[in-house]
A and B are shown apart, each in its own frame.
Chain A
């Protein structure tokens, strides 16, 4: 299987590569459009700030390519948010694939929402084999609200989308690659799609 991780200088891409390696899958790290288009599976990690990430994607021409992809695609963390329409983070227009907007947490709780939290209302093949309320690792200050596309929910303190699916785009707010055995199951389910 030909798995590609999109490299757009977006932080911790190695961790995703290593997580796949632990599953016996060698993934290619690239920003090459053709390699991305030809891949069987595409993973889009992300850390950092929305505006600079969008700028980098545009510089590499990836903002034109990603929306046209048809294979199973997984966005992680900022990679989830970038797939949406707009983010409150520096008022940034995003890739506009998933018709949802990214909001900042307005809460008395600490922001970033950092650490292990449980996910529930799991209703998707990529969540297969998980138990309701399993724990995954989050680090984020912005979130995608619950919608008809939500496939896993978490609370901080209000419910938000821990994961969404829209067509072939699967998007995880938490770090699947850093979520111990639970994250590994999700990655494996995605590779098995």
Chain B
């Protein structure tokens, strides 16, 4: 039976892992390759590495880091952050990334998703969606959550699925960093109404939050960062708990 995936996310700046709480207050949590290998050993199902470096030099460092990760880690990983062109994607896949995630560039040029899916196959194209609950409902935000777009979240999710995305990484900015649980309503709406897998992100604080997002919101995978980095919810313990709740989990 296909299992629910547990995915630690590592934010990378200048070759080091960092984690922003509410996209601010970044704390250093170590070496990405060592951390990734440790997570793989602990039973993480996949890894996500997000490049939050803004400079060209930093981007080059990230590409060589991707190669290092691929060399040492035997589970799939997705890379994202600032990816906006076909050559960007080609380079990262060539260095050994299994999937790439696009976000702001897809909002700017939706046809990019279609081009990438045609060129590289849907299976390696993840669209990351940052969403926030506003007075107009759940809206999509671009540029690391700083710019509100016209898109309603469910419509954008359906649109990227139609354009050929292989997966959606849905981050609720309203929940991110709060440790009060995932955004069950919007995650459930997206997961039930699109035909591609959905990774829930933002708000994980306890083991129960994971069980909730799988059972109540039908998420296919759940992503978290700081609670894993700082050992608040160890992955083996989390997976044992989820299995005890009769969820399909790889142990």
Chain A residues near B (Cβ < 8 Å): 11-12, 14-15, 18-19, 21-22, 47-49, 78, 109-118, 135, 137-141, 155-156, 175, 177-181, 183-184
Give residues 1-37 of B contacting A (CB, 8 Å): 1-5
Give the complex CA separation of A76 and B165 in angstroms. 22
The stretch of B50-58, B119-127, B178-186 in contact with A is: B119-127
Which range contains the number of B residues in contact with the other chain?
A: 35 or more
Selected contact of B121 from candidates A47, A116, A135, CB within 8 Å: A47
CB pair B123 A47 closer than 8 Å: yes
CB pair B75 A139 closer than 8 Å: no
The stretch of B66-74, B102-110, B141-149 in contact with A is: B66-74
CB pair B124 A179 closer than 8 Å: no
**Interface on chain A toward B: helix, strand, loop, or mixed SS?**
mixed
**Interface on chain B toward A: helix, strand, loop, or mixed SS?**
loop
Selected contact of A114 from candidates B74, B93, B123, CB within 8 Å: B123
Given A116-B45, A178-B76: A47 and B124 interface contact (C-beta under 8 Å): yes
CB pair A180 B124 closer than 8 Å: no
CB pair B166 A115 closer than 8 Å: no
Q: List 5 A-B contacts (CB under 8 A).
A: A137-B75, A139-B123, A155-B1, A156-B2, A180-B75
Residue of B nearest to A46 (CB): B121
CB pair A117 B3 closer than 8 Å: yes
CB pair B3 A12 closer than 8 Å: no
- Which among B71, B74, B97 has the greatest number of chain A C-beta atoms within 10 A? B74
Residues of A within 8 Å of B75, CB to CB, are 137, 178-180
Give the complex CA separation of A18 and B220 in angstroms. 28
Residues of B within 8 Å of A111, CB to CB, are 195-196
- Which among B3, B70, B121, B124 has the greatest number of chain A C-beta atoms within 10 A? B121
CB pair B118 A49 closer than 8 Å: yes
Residues of B within 8 Å of A179, CB to CB, are 74-75
Given A110-B197, A115-B221: A14 and B76 interface contact (C-beta under 8 Å): no
